[in-house]
Chains A and B, each alone.
Chain A
Amino acid sequence: MQDKLQFETFLKKQSDETQAKQDIRKDAFNNFLKIGYPTKKHENWRFTNLTSIAKTEYRLPNGKMNKIDNNIVKEHSIDHSHRIIFVNGQFNAELSTIDHTKHISVKNISASFNDLNRNSANNSTNPFILLNRAFVTGGYYIEISPNHVEEKPLHILNIISHENNDIQQHQQNLIKIGENSQISIIEENINLMKKGLFKNSIYNIQVAENSTLSHIFLHQNHTKSKDLNHIFVEQQNDSSYKSYLINIGGDLIRNDINVQIDGENCSTDISGLSLLSGKDHIENYTIVSHNKPNSNSQQLFKYILDESSEGVFNGLVTVQPDAQKTDSQQTNKNILLSKKALMNSNPQLEIYADDVKCSHGSATGELDEAAIFYLRSRGIDLMSAKSLLIEGFAKEVIDKIKNDSVREKLIHEILKRLTS
């Protein structure tokens, strides 16, 4: 689908950009042409069916959009939060309720394009990162100033509402948390399109010294959307980064999250809950790299798979030679509700230091028959018993989220899905 003509037409439309910026686009596009789409022969892509992305003629956004119904915004809103609305990757001040304080800054990404050149995606050979750099048109830049503890979570509603075409949208998002600051960010994608969407997003997240970011991704995709997320995180000394990837169904969702623990005494929690049914396909690829001593990381990824759905978990923890006293745990647990569902799990550890504590494990099974019998023997019917167990399984991930209103929203969305 990515031909030269499409790129050149696109580039001409961005003529107000600096030459440097256009050169980045050109380099990225030329590199993409050299590499092409990955095939199932690539180790990192062997479960991902990219045929339809490669074959569909996705158009680039033309700036036109369907009107956003205010009720949709209301429906998704979270109590006691700052609401930040982006429509097709552009900040919409009118629908947002961010109280502009001197501590929180929200802008379109175009304002800080140069910041993106120093990130770890820069030299990437991942064709989707290259495509993103060639075609990026939107995204957010959020900055939290140093020494600020924000009580209210930021709720980013990323609404996609293009006209009636199959559309590809490439976004870059940048989050910078200043020193000694704390905040929760929940990002929710809402796809209002009737046609296909190929969304390809890069996140750069910088967590400065002694700061804490709790970061929740809520992906609820409909049957025609392909959603790729490349998340790069850099942590400095004494910082804490917690990421919760909540995937409620999706034709194709793939999250690649790469956390570089570049400081000492950091704590990292990368967890996820994926609910799949129909022909949903959800992948989480995680890399947590301990580069300095005395940090801890944990991962808990859970999948609940029904019908003919497929899940992939590929987790890698690396402990570099300097990273002594690292404490790391990685767990993947999956429930198969159907004989046709399939889970691929590949937890990996690479340890180059000698004084570390690391564990990893993976378990996939059906609902516990003994537990079902126990509940039924108390008068609870079979269907309710199963839902109770599924909810209980999911809860271990959701209970990690400390903000009450965010947690309630997630429970609401999960129950809505499970009871449908």
Chain B
Amino acid sequence: MLEIKNLHASIEGKEILNGINITIKTGEMHAIMGLNGSGKSTLANIIAGSEAYEITNGKVLYNNKDLSNLSPEERALQGIFLSFQYPVVIPGVNNTYFIKAALNAKRKYRGEAELDAMDFMVLIKEKLKMVGMDESYLKRSVNDGFSGGEKKRNEILQMITLEPTLAILDETDSGLDIDALKIIANGVNNYRQKDNAFLVITHYQRLLKYIEPDIIHVMIGGKIVKTGGKELALTLEEKGYQWLTDKATV
């Protein structure tokens, strides 16, 4: 579903990604672990179509098509979803209106009838329950006055409503207490199916207790330095990143 081939990217002349290779097949969940500043979020943003970075080499293929010419909205319409590390606060834009506009853009793209306000409310109320949010969130502006945990739940709410085929979760676990973490993990696990795929970015292994990736990559200095099965998370918890850093610099 997703092939990242020798991807190099930089911002303002500073190289952040230094030749990334990852292949994610339909039905798989991959995790990328690594310390802050290793380039994990850059990779997530590039896949979602951020124009803040310059791709200096390599490419990203999604369903065998080069993503480089697709706008962020086209990528979203074709099934890519990014749960942001820092969801943006948008004062004055109602959360319900926003999610409905996003869903209807997608339905229109797929040639389906747009949902009217009534049908949308039925749908969104059901989704809200799945992430333990109450209806008051619908009346508020997008992420405005939301706590860290509420923002992350709002991201997962959007994910399960928009039903992407490739979901990228960028540090969705950071800043969450254990209850919120379980709710989010539950939302992800319920959504995980044979016909979609996940790329989960985290620097703690605690999230991986609740959602089990098939493959774990360790990213250091804009490169994947180690790839392994889910047991790699435990090794990292035990030994930290130091042994990999040492190896990477050799």
Contacts and interface: CB of A to CB of B under 8 A. Distances in A.
Q: Which of A368, A379, A395 has the most CB of B within 10 A?
A: A379
B91 A370 contact: no
Interface stretch (B68-76, B118-126, B208-216): B68-76
B88 A371 contact: yes
B19 to A, nearest CB: 25
Interface string B39-72: 0000000001111100000000000000000011
Interface string B83-117: 01001101111000011011001100100000000
Interface string A367-396: 011110111111111101100110111111
A385 B76 CA distance: 14
Residue of B72, B102, B158 contacting most chain A CB atoms (<10 Å)? B72
A141 B90 CA distance: 43
A391 B105 contact: no
Given A374-B90, A379-B102, A392-B91, 15 more contacts: A369-B52, A370-B88, A371-B88, A373-B49, A374-B84, A377-B72, A377-B76, A377-B81, A378-B102, A381-B105, A388-B90, A389-B90, A392-B141, A395-B93, A399-B92
B105 A380 contact: yes
A378 B88 contact: no
B93 A388 contact: yes
B7 interface: no
Given A381-B105, A384-B101, A388-B98, A376 B71 contact: yes
B98 A376 contact: no
A376 B71 CA distance: 8
Contact of B73 (A379, A389, A395, A396): A379
B162 A379 contact: yes
A21 B90 CA distance: 55
A379 B76 contact: yes
A380 B101 contact: yes
A236 to B, nearest CB: 34
A42 B51 CA distance: 46
A366 to B, nearest CB: 15
Nearest to A395: B92
5 contacts: A371-B88, A373-B72, A374-B84, A375-B98, A392-B141
B155 to A, nearest CB: 10
A382 B76 CA distance: 13
Q: Contact size class for B?
A: 20 to 34
B82 interface: yes
Contact of B76 (A378, A391, A396): A378
Interface centre among A377, A380, A395 (most CB of B within 10 A): A377
B77 interface: yes
A388 B48 CA distance: 20
Contact of A392 (B72, B73, B76, B93): B93
A379 B109 CA distance: 9
A40 B96 CA distance: 49
A399 to B, nearest CB: 8
Contacts of B106: 379
Contacts of A382: 71, 73
B33 to A, nearest CB: 23
Contacts of B76: 376-379
Nearest to A369: B52
B98 to A, nearest CB: 7
Q: Residue among A375, A376, A378, A388 with the most chain B CB within 10 A?
A: A378
B111 to A, nearest CB: 14
Contacts of B87: 374
Interface in A382-420: 382, 384-385, 388-389, 391-396, 399
A370 B88 CA distance: 7
In this complex, the member of B76, B90, B101 whose beta carbon has the largest number of chain A beta carbons within 10 angstroms is B90
Given A373-B50, A373-B72, A379 B93 contact: no
Contacts of B158: 378
A399 B140 CA distance: 13
Nearest to B48: A377
A114 B88 CA distance: 57
Contacts of B48: 373, 377
Nearest to B45: A373
A260 B158 CA distance: 49
B105 A396 contact: no
A2 B236 CA distance: 85
Contact of A396 (B50, B92, B98, B162): B92
Contacts of B75: 377
A396 B141 CA distance: 11
A392 B77 CA distance: 24
A393 B92 contact: yes
B84 A376 contact: no
A396 B90 CA distance: 11
A394 B98 CA distance: 16
A392 B92 contact: yes
